[in-house]
Amino acid sequence: MYGYEEVAAGMSSMSRARVARRIAAGAAYGGGGLGLAGAAAAGLLLAEVQMAKRHVGNGSDNHVPLANGLYGHVYETPGEPPLHLTMLGDSTAAGQGVHRAGQTPGALLASGLAAVAERPVRLRNVALPGAQSDDLDRQVALVLADPAQAPDICVIMVGANDVTHRMPPTRSVRHLSAAVRRLRTAGAEVVVGTCPDLGTIEPVQQPLRWLARRASRQLAAAQTIGVVEQGGRTVSLGDLLGPEFAANPRELFGPDNYHPSAEGYATAAMAVLPTVCAALGLWPAEEERPDVSRREGFLPVARAAAEAASEAGTEVTAAIPTGPRGPWALLKRRRRRRLPEPEPASAPPHHEPQAG
């Protein structure tokens, strides 16, 4: 008799691609609430998530360190403006669960980007703990309200709350796609960390663990299709990110056993940073070509999305506008880069309260 993990592993990449394509198509054409695991399973998922939340909530800390400001002071050059990095999304993007600003993913990415670009980076974080994808409409409006703070690159991390609150995945992807489209139209590059694998949350038991993993990966794959079609890039957050998370959850989960610890956020940031740099044209050209030895290459976007959802740290970006099976994408398995120790950020030019 197969266990839940074996059944989940047996779901073919082609099957996941079909589901993701249906969700993304429903989002694009106004489809309704396509169920992730069926109505009965969704009801069970909600009930058990509430129990798990009560468990993981013990010891949680709602404080989010204020990380906005300028990073990379050593690279300041008269007359050269800093790069502008903006974080949007939920508690993962905000950095909930850690105590120091330098431990948040925004600070880690800003410091890493400054080191690669050899240019200061001004970080702005509008992410809101507890946010679902429909809050991106508000966050994007806030980001674009002041042309003087127009971002060069935006990083969005969202999706977990959509799954636990049973937001129809078509609606979830529709809001995310609209956010990417608005940011790209405004001239910003966009990188999306797709829905993390909720099956890795330690207190969650079977069958919720299998259902949560299946729902998370289906949404992540559909998010990738929607984002790539709007000109953005995605990085699979998966199990935040890599086998060390599942192997060492005590170290990589925070005190509430739900949000990442400082080590967990650093692991995620190391996976996202290369894609952020590539989006800004800061990566060597030879590294942008697919590496066959790393199983990289061009695939129909739905197939690339399904493969990425199953392997944390995998990047998907648009490649060929169309082909026999629709748009094609480049699937990359970039090597993670060590991050410099974030320096304390200088205060932003004006006071802006931190979300959360």
Please list the active-site residues: 91, 256, 259
Please measure the distance between the N-terminal and C-terminal CA atoms of the chain and give it in whole angstroms.
46
From the list 234, 299, 223, the residue with the least C-alpha distance to 271 is: 234
CA distance 210 to 246: 14
C-alpha R_g of the chain: 19
